Amino acid sequence: MHVLIAYGTKMGGTKEIAKRIAETLSAEKFAVTLRDAKEMTHPEEFDAVVLGSAIYAMRWRRPAIRLLKNLNRAEFTRPVWLFHTGPLGDDEANDPQDFPPNVEKLTAGLDVRGRITFGGRLPENATGFIARSMVKQGRSGDWRDFSEVEVWAKEIARVLGQTKA
C-alpha cells in the first residue's frame, strides 16, 4: 500500500509533522512518499493520502488547497486523512479548530477518515509582518506534540492495515 503524505507549510513546522507521520507509517511497513503539496499533481497513483496544512486566519496554504482540488478532479475514492497546524500558546495548542469552509467543501466527495488539529510553532526568527508582530508580543514557541502525532499516525496505519487485509 502506497501512502502520500503531503503538506502545505510556510515556516516548516507542518513539514516536520508530516515527516513524523511518514516515519511512523514507514515503520509500520507502508510505502510512503513525503512531498510538499506544491509538488503534487497526480495523487491518484496512491492508495491513501494524508494531507496537512498550516492554518493562518482560518485559511489553509494554497498548495494544500490545490491538492484537494486535484483529488476532487481525479474523483479520488481511497482513504484520506487531514490535519492542520497552527494554534499557538499553552491554552490553545490542543484545541481543535474547525476546518475552513473551502476545505470542507472540497472534501465533501472524498472518503475522509479522520481530521485533527495539532499545535503550531512560531520561531523567534519568523518572517512576515504578522508573524514578527506575534514574536514581539511574546507568542513565539513550539506547541507541537509529536507523541500525539505518532499516536494519530499509528491509528492511520491500523485502519490502512484493515483496508489491505
Domains, the chain, in order of start with CATH, read 2-164 (3.40.50.360)
> Distance (Å, rounded) from C-alpha 91 to C-alpha 87?
9
Percent of the chain surpassing pLDDT 90:
62
Side chain identity at residue 49, one-letter code? V
Residue pLDDT, tens place only, 18-40: 999 999 999 999 999 999 999 98
Cα-based distances in Å from 42 to 30, 37, 68, 70, 91 = 19, 11, 11, 7, 39
**What cell does 160 get?**
490502512
127 — pLDDT class (breaks 50, 70, 90): confident
Q: What is the pLDDT of residue 89?
A: 67
> Distance (Å, rounded) from C-alpha 104 to C-alpha 124?
32
Residue 165 has pLDDT above 60, yes or no: no
Mean pLDDT of 73-96: 83
Mean pLDDT of 99-117: 94
What phi and psi values does residue 95 have, to the nearest 5 degrees?
Answer: -80, 125
Q: Are 48 and 4 in contact, with CB atoms under 8 Å apart?
A: yes
Q: What is the pLDDT of residue 81?
A: 98
53 — pLDDT class (breaks 50, 70, 90): very high
- The per-residue b/e assignment along 80-90, b for 16 or more CB within 10 angstroms, e otherwise, is bbbbbbbbbee
> Distance (Å, rounded) from C-alpha 82 to C-alpha 51?
5
Q: Which candidate, 14, 7, 6, 48, places its Cα nearest to that of 31?
A: 48
